Homo-oligomer: A and B are copies of this chain.
Amino acid sequence: MSVQERKERERAERERLIVATARELAEQQGWDAVTTRRLAERIEYSQPVLYSHFRGKREIIGAVALQGAAELAVAVRAATSAADGPRARVAALARAYLDFAEHNPAVYDAIFQLDGGLAYAQEDTPAPLKDAFAALMESLAEVAGNGIDPGLFTELFWASLHGLATLTRTGRLLPEYAEPRVELLVDRLCMV
């Protein structure tokens, strides 16, 4: 029994190692550099071991995405809970979201850009993804305005943030406008 438990523990530990290494490698050199060979070498196992934990590379990306979504939710809640008043809360939310995207580009891509084989906006959507959306909605609901569905408003606000995050990172927006863009977004979209 104890032996089997130890093996399961080691297996789980190795799985965490795979995800952490994939994430690390992706943040360091981009997802293109995360090949099964390199990943296997870094965890000091052979390639096929990866496939005993995940169906394929896509599932590894998905695992990083779930981890990242949980962290994003934490970051958003931490930022909003430290702010006073609806306007400040939403501004803090926006900055926290964009900061997360800026400082964890690979993870952000795993969540929102790449195909990790995850379901979105459905019943079988994994809990971390639902929760990340919920974290946004908690602070956004109070500024949605009369007669506007909080879910609808959150989707729109989120989409705007997502657009800013991705276009900024690929150098498609002027860097000097970064802050005014956030200010304008919050001022216009939110009914304070």
Which residues of A are in contact with B by a Cβ distance under 8 Å?
A: 112-113, 120-121, 148-149, 151-153, 155-156, 158-164, 166-167, 170-174, 177, 180-181, 184-185, 188-189
Which 9 residue pairs of A and B lie closest in terms of their CB atoms, listed nearest first?
A: A163-B163, A159-B163, A162-B163, A160-B160, A120-B172, A159-B164, A188-B189, A152-B177, A156-B181
Which B residues lie within 8 Å of A173 (CB)?
121, 155, 159
Min Cβ gap A61→B in Å is 14
Min Cβ gap A136→B in Å is 13
- Would A112 and B172 count as touching, CB distance under 8 A? yes
Q: Cα distance A172–B160 when bound, in Å?
A: 13
Which B residues lie within 8 Å of A164 (CB)?
156, 159, 163
